[in-house]
Amino acid sequence: MKITVVGAGFVGATTAQRLAEKELGDIILHDIVEGMPQGKALDMMQSACLEGFDSEVKGTNDPADYAGSDIVVITSGLARQPGMSRDDLLAKNAEIVGGVADNVKKYAPEAIVIVVSNPLDVMTYLVAAKTGFPKHRVMGMAGVLDSARFRCFIAQELGVSHKDVEAMVLGSHGDDMVPLARYCTVSGIGIEALLPKDKIDAMIARTRGGGAEIVKLLQKGSAYYAPSSAAVQMVQSIVRDEKRVMPVAAYCTGQYGIKGQFVGVPVQLGRKGIEKIIELELTEDELKQLQVSAGHVAETVAALKL
């Protein structure tokens, strides 16, 4: 497999490193900054004998090197700063990601595309519009990361293994995401049987502000360890045709009452990309929250005037 990671910043470089260490394919690391992707790729390759991988990592400034890519992961764009919302990044990142989408369309017309750039759901819509690719081949990394944050907080609160915790977060990758406590379990036991409502509500609020909490602590830059892990988990499910069920920003065609919009919903992810969207039974309140979240994405997309 040939996997291109666009953007050699913290998220992109960490994604490339983890893809190589898992031997999911040969990696192209692209960035417009001369020398940076080449230097990071060389550094990674010099760790290959120590980490025990034979994947090749090549750094480049030439988008023509995307040619033949099976998967493209887009991480390009500005990172959030303290006090910034994901939507504050809209105009500048739309320009950057739009240019990347043009290159993907030109050089990797058969690729599956995973968008990581913020504001994520909107950038995913932009990439789909600019490439014209079938919607099952374009998706955003959102719910996997948000669910991982929710799982982390549950594991820490209960003092249990992170491996035993499952969670599901739907909606946009923003302040109005929809963590579903009813679908969160520890070894099959619902967290509502293990934790009081006020504790669960606090973790839901912390999950919604998970990215902002890290931005505030770092003061400069934003999260990259967990986002890269989330992107790699999606790539792995595609490369190995694992058909894992995970929440991603997918194009809805009426599911959950949402049509013509990318928003976080559970999907089955396999070698062809999104193989199907899974419709969970939601309460009236949960469904309303999801639709409100999708509506906010639609409003932001409209501001792009595509």
Q: Which CATH architecture has domain 2-140?
A: 3-Layer(aba) Sandwich (3.40)
CATH class of the region 143-304: alpha beta
Rounded to 10 degrees, what is the CA torsion of 150, 252, 93, 305?
-140
30, 136, 162, 173: the catalytic one is 173
Measured distance CA(136)–CA(147) in Å, rounded: 21
Indicate the pTM of the whole model. 0.95
2-140 and 143-304 share one fold: no
Rounded to 10 degrees, what is the CA torsion of 253, 256, 262, 263?
-170
Please name the amino acid found at residue 235: V
Measured distance CA(243)–CA(144) in Å, rounded: 14
Judging by DSSP bridges, how do beta strands 259-270 and 244-253 pair with one another? antiparallel
Measured distance CA(61)–CA(220) in Å, rounded: 25
The residue ranges of every structural domain in the chain are 2-140, 143-304
pLDDT at position 287 over 70: yes
- Count the Cβ atoms, other than its own, within 10 Å of residue 116: 30
The arrangement of strands across the sheet holding 185-186 comes to 165-166, 185-186, 189-190
Active site residue 173: yes
C-beta contacts of 251-258 below 8 A and 24+ residues apart: 251/128, 251/135, 251/138, 252/277, 252/294, 255/279, 256/282, 256/287, 256/290, 256/291, 256/294, 257/287, 257/291, 258/290, 258/291, 258/294
Average model confidence (pLDDT) across the chain: 96
pLDDT at position 87 over 70: no
List pLDDT tens digits, range 8-54.
999 999 999 999 999 999 999 999 999 999 999 999 999 999 999 99
